[in-house]
Structure formats: structure tokens, C-alpha cells
Chain A
Amino acid sequence: MAHPFRDVAIVGVHNTVQARHLPGHDSASIALEGALGALADAGLSPADVDAVVGQFAQDDVLALGLGPCTRRMSSLGIPTVLDAAALIVTGQADVVLIGAGGAGLYADRSATAPWTRPANEFVVGYGLFTAAEFALMARRHMIMHGTTPEQLATVAATIRTNGHHNPEAVYHGRGPFDPADILASRMVADPFHLLDCSMTSEGGCGLVLARADRTAGLAAAPVWILGGASDSFGPAYQIAPRWDLRGSTDPDIPAGYVGRRAADRSLAMAGITPAEVDVAELYDPFSFEIIRQLEAYRFCGPGEGGGFVDDGHIAPGGSLPVTTDGGTMSFSHAGISAQQLQRVIRGVQQLRGSCRTMQVPGAEVALCSNGGSGALFTDVLVLGAQRP
């Protein structure tokens, strides 16, 4: 049987300028800049597009003078890419444009960012926000497996140093970082210090997917979708984020390993094992999330994530370099959708061999992820340099 995404190619990717603040932009305008940049990267024009997917899909249809044109609103990351691929596979469209961005969303700096503050009646009175929710998962892993703050700090130092080297990162030049630097930063929500946490910034991005027979003569070598899937245990930030919350879909997988089913299915679709992944563009909302993903996706065994990090596997030159542009800790975190799509964009750049910094030599397979245990969802996408 032919691979389900054999005829879908990622042909354009783009990040706009990312910054703490982008005066003159709102989310829609920076998302449109991201979409336009992705079209330029592909060597295509708006007139080639017959579907738009993303945060501002219907606005982009009008802004680009398209129509009649498919539109799908989506504020997700990897599922947006999979929806775009499905439009092509099912014959609904030939060239799909994705745009995303965030700007002007975070004005009151006396509170945490608005998208981190849940209003749900059962959590609002306890001052929960994203860092605290994720800390409850991290603490449980420390209780069960003896994972240490130093191991969390090693993750943060690795990713922040990747961003330090990246001239496109918001926090370019802020490092390099040692684990001691992370541990010396002020405590936010124990065990997370300030530098264990993602940042907040503004920026946009875009991707273009096309049917494989439209890729001849395009600007860059196409990158291929080898597999993808999504896991959820329910709505984020409404119930206690218990490590061992379980459901009937697979009672063997606790919420702490949300994403395991998605990774298993993605790698099976790709026909590969975790050992065949060359680079992991893992979503990094908090340092601990890397450790639990390494276990959930079976790069190491349960409770071995901290030791895997200690042994240098995720560092540049290690067996599995992670989050090579600096991720949400150092590259950018615009709040809604863009920072999730940026894991996919970096994966594409790695497989093109076009990264200006932290290029993994000869990378052929990239695993990208979104979400996290504290939010009870994780999405996985496996990309390949070779057509499946």
C-alpha cells in the first residue's frame, strides 16, 4: 500500500522577524507576513494557492485576493499541518498555505501572559498558570524517578545555548548557559526557575504544502511527511493535571506520557524506530517536558530521561540533538499557534540542510512535537528528506 502522504510535499517555510515586541503589528498582520514569506520561499505566488489553513484563514483568503478557495480555521500547530496534508490527499486542494502569528496580545506585564491564565471555575481561585500546571507533572516525575533540578537545568541550558548561537532567535547572544545559570535564576513555580520556562514574544510564520506533481522547479528540495498523530486527555487547565490520569483508549498510557500513542503511530506510519530519528524538534514549554517526551516517545526507558540528558544525548553532536533553534525558551513563543508550527519549520530546515546554526549533519529524519503534559495534549509529526 502506498504511504498515505506520498503525494504531499512541504515546499515552503518561513519565520518573520521574531522579537519581544513588534510595534505596528497585530496577530493577523504578522501571520499574513508569515504566509507571504512561505510562498516566497517556495517560489510560488498567491495565485497558485487554492486552500488556506490557520488562525486567520478566511482573512487571508480575502487579503490575498483568492476565491473561491478552501479555508479551515485552526489555532493548532501540527494538526494544522496534518489537516493541510489531508486536503491534498483527499483531492480537495493542490497548494495549501498556512499562516500563524501573535502580536499585541500581552500588554499587562503585572500578570502572566493572558493565554497562560485559565478562567475555569475549578482552577482560577488557586492562581494556576501554565508554569504551575506543568510543575505539578514535573514534581510527580521527580517523586517517582528521582529526577533532579540539575537535570531539568541541563535541558534548559542546552536549548537556551542553541538559541544563543541562532541569529534569528529573540534571545540571540544571551548565553552560553550552564546548568548553574538556570538554577541561579529566580524561582517561578518550583521546580521551575525563570530560565526553565518558555518566554513570551511576538512573531509570525508560514508553511506551504503542495501535491507532489507541483514540486518540479520549486525553490527548495521538498520535505515529506512520514507520519503524524495527536493525543489528548481532555481540555487543558480545567482539571488536576495528574500524571496517572488514564482513559479507555489505552489504559496503559498515563497522561504523563501523553504523546506516546501519537509517536508510536507516527513512527509506525514512517516505518522506522526511535533510533532512526536524527534530530528531535521537541516542544519545550518547560525544561522538564523534554525529559518526559524522551521517555514517552521511547528514546529511553521510563524514568531514564534525566540520565539520558546527563549523558549528553540531546546536546549538539549527541545522538539526538533537540530543539536546535532555541525553541520557545530562546527562539520565540508568540503565544497561540506560531510557536507550535515553528517546530515543524525547524524540522524542515534541518532536513533541507539549510540551518545557519546547529545544523545536524546529514539529517534525514526529524521528529517534531507540540503541546505538553500540563496541558493534557501532545501532537507528533515525523518528517523525512526522502519521499515515502
Chain B
Amino acid sequence: MTVLEPQPPGIPAPVPGPHSEPYWDGCRQGELRFLRCDGCAAAQPKPTMLCRRCRGRSLSWTPSGGRGVLYSWTVVWRPQHPTFRVPYAPAIVDLDEGFSVLSAVVGCRPEDLAVDLAVAVEFHAISETITLPYFRPVTD
């Protein structure tokens, strides 16, 4: 039986940019964070100095409960790079706080993936400095 699993250390690692440190700090501490506009509450799809909805300049890193549902997914059988173990399942997750992340689903079989599947975040370190968020199906 094939079960989707987190990737082992050794995969190509993210290189944090100057604006994303709070995000990666949160991952190391087991907290998923997103950047929200203080003015209009819009979640930003990536770190920015400007809200993409109201163009306000006051934005705050905000903790998420890490619960959400599956919006879309794929199951990859031809690895992007030989260090990745297949199959793996990149996915877009809609979080309860109204933002989306690109991540991957673990802890279930590929055929269990379905739209609106309830998932929760969990974290797996791939190096001393980088911890990646993944999502696992939940029943409650």
C-alpha cells in the first residue's frame, strides 16, 4: 500500500529571502504564519510590503490554526529532482483563516485525496535551518 510521506533531508532546500524570515521562524517553532493586511485583512500570497488588495503598507505576520481543506492537488510519479521520493502530492490548501498555501499532503494514500478533504498542518525538518509545513487528513 502506497502512503504519501514527507520528503527526507537532502532535497533542494528553500533559501529564505529578506522578507520571509518570520515565516520560516514560525515553521521551526511549529506555527504556520501568514502575512495579513492590518487595514483590509486580506491575506497575501507571498511576502510583500504592499497589500495587493488595498495597497496599504501596514502588514502583520499572523498565526494560523493550521486547519483547512484541499482545494486542488496532483500526485507526482516522475520526480522533479532525483532526491525526491515518489509518489508525492503537491497541493493547494485553503486555510480556515481565508488564505491558501502551496504545500503537500502526507499520511494518506493517493486515492484518498479529494476536494474539500479536511487537513491539518504538521512540520518536518529537512535541515538545521529549514522546516517544511505539510498537511495530513484529519477526521474530527
Contact = CB atoms under 8 A, between A and B. Distances in A.
Interface string B48-91: 00001100000000000000000111111111111010001011
Contacts of B17: 121
Interface string B4-16: 0001000111111
A291 to B, nearest CB: 16
Contacts of B14: 121-122, 124-125
B69 to A, nearest CB: 12
A64 interface: no
A110 B82 contact: yes
A128 B90 contact: yes
A241 B92 CA distance: 8
Interface string B92-108: 10000000111110000
B81 A127 contact: yes
B126 interface: yes
Contacts of B110: 190
Contact of A136 (B52, B72, B81, B101): B72
Contacts of B132: 125-126
Given A136-B73, A139-B73, A189-B76, A123 B81 contact: no
Contacts of B115: 143
Interface string A244-257: 01011000000000
Contacts of A123: 102
Given A136-B73, A188-B76, A239-B46, A128 B88 contact: no
Interface residues of B, number: 40
Interface string A54-86: 000000000000000000000000000000000
A132 B72 contact: no
Contacts of B73: 136, 139
Contacts of B46: 122, 238-239
A303 to B, nearest CB: 16
Nearest to B74: A135
B130 interface: yes
A180 interface: no
A124 B130 CA distance: 12
A132 B90 contact: yes
A127 B7 contact: yes
B7 to A, nearest CB: 7
Interface in A222-278: 234, 238-243, 245, 247-248
A112 B90 contact: no
A60 B101 CA distance: 43
B110 to A, nearest CB: 7
Main secondary structure of the interface of B (DSSP, over half): loop
A376 B20 CA distance: 22
A189 B92 contact: no
Given A122-B46, A189-B77, A239-B45, A127 B92 contact: no
Contact of B84 (A116, A127, A139, A194): A127
Contacts of A125: 7, 11-14, 126, 130, 132
A188 B71 contact: no
B2 to A, nearest CB: 12
B133 to A, nearest CB: 9
B75 A189 contact: yes
Contacts of A242: 71-72, 92, 100
A187 interface: yes
Given A125-B126, A189-B74, A239 B84 contact: no
B92 A136 contact: yes
Contacts of A110: 81-82
25 contacts: A111-B79, A111-B82, A116-B80, A125-B11, A125-B130, A125-B132, A126-B90, A126-B103, A126-B132, A127-B84, A127-B90, A131-B76, A135-B74, A136-B73, A143-B72, A187-B75, A187-B78, A188-B77, A189-B74, A190-B77, A238-B46, A240-B45, A240-B92, A242-B71, A242-B92
Interface of B: 7, 11-17, 20, 45-46, 52-53, 71-82, 84, 88, 90-92, 100-104, 110, 115, 126, 130, 132
